[in-house]
Structure 1
Amino acid sequence: MRLFIRLLLIPGIVGWLLGGCSEKIDPKPATYSQLLTGTDKKSWKIVSYQVLDNGNASSVIPAQSGLDACIADDILTFYADAEHKLEVSQNAIICYPNEPDIYVTDTWTLFNANASLEFYLPVLNGKFPWTIKNLTATVLTIEYYFPDINASYRFTFNSTTTK
């Protein structure tokens, strides 16, 4: 009987105890909001845009050549805080020399059900509901559909910093 306990029972109990202590690590894919904000905050800069009118799309226009240079240079920072803070700051090209670097503080709202993101965009000087066309860790493409005409604006941003 002692031989049975030594050879089968003790190694079985030890194996069960040690085997039950392992933790299975499952990778968690980033959510839309994590892609947008990082874990703390993430900054984005407009790199291009398109105008779509009656199903006809313009060519992709680089932001620096088609928009007001000082506004196209601005940085939008989305925060991962509970308030969903958004800051718009001047970059290398200063639009408002007598204003602070951060000249707009607002909020952003993400609706996962329809991939809609609402935030202030300096180029259009307003807060609009944007449809997310593409969102990765480094690229954000959004589109605004005009409610009364068959036209839209599509903007593409690149991530500049992440924390």
Structure 2
Amino acid sequence: MRQLIRLLLIPGVVGWLLGGCSEKIEPKPTTYSQLLTGTQKKSWRMVSVQIFDEGKGSGVIPVQNAVDPCVADDVLTFYADAERKLEASQGANICYPSEPDIYVTDTWSLVNANATLEFYIPVLNGVYPWTIKTLTDRVLTVEYYFGDIDASYRFTFNPVTTQ
């Protein structure tokens, strides 16, 4: 009987001790803003444009065919810092060599409740409240709806670098 108790009790106690010491691994889901910024910063480049007018879309237009070549390859960098810094910089096509590479420093804001992202877009040279259509680690698609007319602009970005 004593032998049976040892065979059952000792492995049970050892299992309980080792099992009680392990740390439970809990997954940390990526937050909405972390998809945009990475853990430190993430840079995005515009790849396509769509224009909607009275419900009719233009179809997907590659950005090189739609905008000034000097703006088409510009890069937007979203920072994960407390200030939510945003930088717009010249891309590989340097059109203004006498100008600094980073030509706009601004901020971005995100409202999860209505999926609104407010930030500067070089093509329009301004800050607008964009409705997020898609935000993954590989694609950002935003759309601006004009309030006074039945029209909108939709822009799609792909990441260039992530940190």
The CA RMSD measured in Å over matched residues stands at 1.6
Name the CA distance, whole Å, in 1 between partners of 2:7 and 2:135. Answer: 58
TM-score (norm 2): 0.93
TM-score (norm 1): 0.93
Q: State whether structure 2 residue 100 is matched by structure 1 residue 100.
A: yes
Q: State whether structure 2 residue 64 is matched by structure 1 residue 56.
A: no
Name the CA distance, whole Å, in 2 between partners of 1:98 and 1:28. Answer: 45
Give the % identical residues: 74
Q: Secondary structure at the match of 2:103?
A: strand
Q: State whether structure 2 residue 99 is matched by structure 1 residue 90.
A: no
Aligned residue number for residue 128 of structure 1:
128
Which amino acid counterpart does residue 93 of structure 1 have in structure 2?
N
Task: Out of 84-93 and 25-34, give the one that drifted further.
Answer: 25-34
Aligned residue number for residue 25 of structure 1:
25
Using the TM superposition, give the Cα deviation of residue 2 of structure 1 relative to its aligned residue in structure 2, in angstroms.
5.9
Name the CA distance, whole Å, in 2 between partners of 1:3 and 1:62. Answer: 78
Using the TM superposition, give the Cα deviation of residue 24 of structure 1 relative to its aligned residue in structure 2, in angstroms.
2.9
1:19-55 alpha-carbon deviations (Å, 9 max, x no partner): 1122332332211111111111111001110100111
Using the TM superposition, give the Cα deviation of residue 5 of structure 1 relative to its aligned residue in structure 2, in angstroms.
6.0
Aligned residue number for residue 159 of structure 2:
159
Name the CA distance, whole Å, in 1 between partners of 2:27 and 2:130. Answer: 29
Q: Secondary structure at the match of 1:98?
A: coil
Using the TM superposition, give the Cα deviation of residue 6 of structure 1 relative to its aligned residue in structure 2, in angstroms.
3.3
Which amino acid counterpart does residue 160 of structure 2 have in structure 1?
T
Q: Secondary structure at the match of 1:158?
A: strand
Aligned residue number for residue 47 of structure 1:
47
Which amino acid counterpart does residue 129 of structure 1 have in structure 2?
P
Which amino acid counterpart does residue 138 of structure 1 have in structure 2?
R
Q: Secondary structure at the match of 1:133?
A: strand
Which amino acid counterpart does residue 128 of structure 1 have in structure 2?
Y
Alignment coverage as a number of residue pairs:
163
Which amino acid counterpart does residue 111 of structure 1 have in structure 2?
V
Name the CA distance, whole Å, in 2 between partners of 1:154 and 1:136. Answer: 16
Name the CA distance, whole Å, in 1 between partners of 2:112 and 2:57. Answer: 26
